[in-house]
Structure 1
Amino acid sequence: MATIYEVSKLAGVSLATVSRVMNNNANVSDRTRQKVTAAMQELGYRPNSIAQSLASNCSNSVGLLVSELQGPFYGPMMSGIENAFRSQGKHVIIAAGHSDAQREQQGIEFLISRNCDALILHVEAISDDYLITLSKDKIPFVLINRYIPELADRCITLNNQLGGYLASKHILEHGHKNIAYISGPLWKKDAQDRLAGHKQALTEYQLDFDEALFYQGNFMEDSGYQGFKQLYQSPKPFTALICANDEMATGAMAIARELAIQLPEQLSVIGFDNVFFTRHTYPKLSTINYPIHDMGRMAADWILANVYNKNTVPLQTLFEPTLVARQSVIAIK
């Protein structure tokens, strides 16, 4: 196996110059960089990343902890993060926390053990106190979809209450007054905020929140299916259904068809997230756009600016949701 010494000899440069080329140091001329790269290719030299990280105290890797690796929501976020880092010669190591405090902590400790330069955390169950304590350690991190006042400058969040308000207002503007609601698990802050936005819109239209038309789901498609099944058995009729995410909305739409309910003529439905499949449901699902790809990209930009001192776009911590009106909501007849 070729060594860095052989690369240095073949390229006719010093060991320090070879090291600068491997670490993408700007203080190397294009001609010298080409010579070193050509020598590495000719010798089949592969840099030892562990040795590099020990020597430079930089592994060029970032740890990413997400709640789940499956489903349509996290893919765009991970893609935005990975693309941003790959363009800067950095790599991403991914772990999953499964919305469980112990697993989230284990995931964070694993990523730290991999000598990551920084962390991006999408965590839901772990305590604020743990994250505040972690912020006092040497490894920097940024949070997605989590707001902690003491860590405000490193929290990239969505205005979920506004999103919940926009979804409900869209239904109300179409004349619906008997409205069912399927929430996410209410121990999660985003589910709480979306429900608060729903209640805000009802109050604005001088309507009361009806517990009989409420079901607490878990953000999974099956809970939308089961939630609608239970709501439909309620003695109180409803003409519109608001779901706190798109997966639950599609589950609800599936059983509505099984019950021979015509959509949207007999039931208007709106979701939240604007994941890719909402453009392909029938009818196409009205929803709230959650710019999770952009938020992931911004988290990466935060790391690039604060850890790697790379020039990036202006940093933004609060993102605004927008209404995406399609065919699943119509005016009540």
Structure 2
Amino acid sequence: MATIYEVSKLAGVSLATVSRVMNNNANVSDATRKKVTLAMEELGYRPNSIAQSLASNCSNSAGLLVSELKGPFYGPMMSGIENTLRKHGKHVIITAGHSDAEREQQGIEFLISRNCDALILHVEAISDEYLIKLSKGKTPFVLLNRYIEELADRCIILDNTKGGYLATKYIIESGHKDIAYISGPLWKKDAQERLNGHKQALDEFAIKFDENNLFEGDFVEESGYEGFATLYKNNPAFTALVCANDEMATGAMVSAREHGIQLPSQLSIIGYDNVFFTRHVYPPLSTINYPIDEMGKVAAQWVLSHVYQKSVHPIQTLFEPELVIRQSVVKPLTSR
């Protein structure tokens, strides 16, 4: 394997000059840069990226920690981040925390050990105190879907309370009064906020919230399936179902059909997130748009601006949810 010393000898320049070329230092003439580049190509030399980053104190990479690598929600977010950074010659190192505080911390420490220039964190279980302490360290980071008042300038969030409110308000305005709800895990802040928005809409229309009409799921399809079956057993009269995400909504749709219920004529359902498959299920699912791809792009822009001093658009930290109306919500029948 060729070495930097061989490149230096073949190009007829010093080791320091070869290093400056590899690190894109502006203080190198075009002619010299061409000589070094040709020498590297002739020898098949590949720079050691770790050694480069240690020498230049810049790895040209950002670390991304997400809750999961599977499912339809995280793909658009990761794609938005990676595409934005790659346009500026930066790479992304990705790991997952699986909504577990210890694994999230391990993921953060791993990314820092890889000499990432910055971190983009979608973390749910790790404490505010840990993140506040981390903010005083050397590695800058930005938070997705997490708000901490002390770190407000680096938190990119969606108004989940408003999203929950919009979903239930639409259901009520469509004529429904007996409404069931499948939440996400209520230890998670976004699940709490969406449920709070649901309750706000009920209260606004003087509809009493009934605990028997609440099932706590875990944001995956199977819990939507189980949630509908449990709710239907407790109260078979509800005419509408609000789900805290689209995966649980599709699970509930399958379960409802297995109970002999026609959709949407006998049961209206609305989801949350507006993931890609909501347009293709039957009936097409009404939902709340969560622009996670755009939020990912903004997180990447935060890194480009704060770490690499790139000129980007003003950073938008608060995003607004929007109601997406399709065919899964209709006026209720007088009875099933």
Q: TM-score, normalised by structure 1?
A: 0.94
Instruction: State the alpha-carbon separation in 2 of the partners of residues 276 and 251 from structure 1.
Output: 15
1:97 matched to which residue of 2?
97
Q: 1:282 and 2:282 equivalent?
A: yes
Q: 1:258 and 2:258 equivalent?
A: yes
Instruction: State the alpha-carbon separation in 2 of the partners of residues 161 and 31 from structure 1.
Output: 59
Cα deviation code 1:184-237 (max 9, x no counterpart): 111111001101111111122121112121111111111100110011112451
- Per the TM alignment, residue 130 of structure 1 is displaced from its structure 2 partner at its CA by 0.7
Change (3 A) 1:235 1:297: closer
Give the letter aligned to residue 237 of structure 2.
Answer: P
Change (3 A) 1:267 1:134: same
Q: 1:172 and 2:177 equivalent?
A: no
| Contact 1:183 1:218 survives alignment (8 Å) | yes
Instruction: State the alpha-carbon separation in 2 of the partners of residues 279 and 249 from structure 1.
Output: 13
Give the letter aligned to residue 230 of structure 1.
Answer: T
Cα deviation code 1:267-325 (max 9, x no counterpart): 11100011111111111111111111111111111111111111222111111111111
Q: TM-score, normalised by structure 2?
A: 0.94
- Per the TM alignment, residue 330 of structure 1 is displaced from its structure 2 partner at its CA by 1.3
| Contact 2:213 2:235 survives alignment (8 Å) | no
CA root-mean-square deviation: 1.8
| Contact 2:80 2:293 survives alignment (8 Å) | yes
Percent identical among aligned pairs is 76
Unaligned stretches of 5+ in structure 1?
Answer: none
Change (3 A) 1:182 1:165: same
For these two proteins, the number of residue pairs brought into alignment is 333
The aligned runs of 1:149-228 (5 Å cut-off) are 149-228=149-228
- Per the TM alignment, residue 34 of structure 1 is displaced from its structure 2 partner at its CA by 4.8
2:139 matched to which residue of 1?
139
Change (3 A) 1:311 1:24: farther
2:117 matched to which residue of 1?
117
- Per the TM alignment, residue 102 of structure 1 is displaced from its structure 2 partner at its CA by 1.1
Give the letter aligned to residue 277 of structure 1.
Answer: F
1:86 matched to which residue of 2?
86
Give the letter aligned to residue 298 of structure 1.
Answer: V
| Contact 2:121 2:143 survives alignment (8 Å) | yes
Q: 1:247 and 2:247 equivalent?
A: yes
Change (3 A) 1:34 1:262: farther
Change (3 A) 1:244 1:14: same
Give the letter aligned to residue 77 of structure 1.
Answer: M
Cα deviation code 1:56-93 (max 9, x no counterpart): 11112211111111111111111111112222222211
- Per the TM alignment, residue 13 of structure 1 is displaced from its structure 2 partner at its CA by 5.4
| Contact 2:53 2:59 survives alignment (8 Å) | yes
1:59 matched to which residue of 2?
59
Instruction: State the alpha-carbon separation in 1 of the partners of residues 161 and 132 from structure 2.
Output: 24
- Per the TM alignment, residue 106 of structure 1 is displaced from its structure 2 partner at its CA by 1.2
Instruction: State the alpha-carbon separation in 1 of the partners of residues 108 and 64 from structure 2.
Output: 9
Instruction: State the alpha-carbon separation in 1 of the partners of residues 157 and 275 from structure 2.
Output: 18
2:293 matched to which residue of 1?
293
Instruction: State the alpha-carbon separation in 2 of the partners of residues 236 and 57 from structure 1.
Output: 63
Unaligned stretches of 5+ in structure 2?
Answer: none
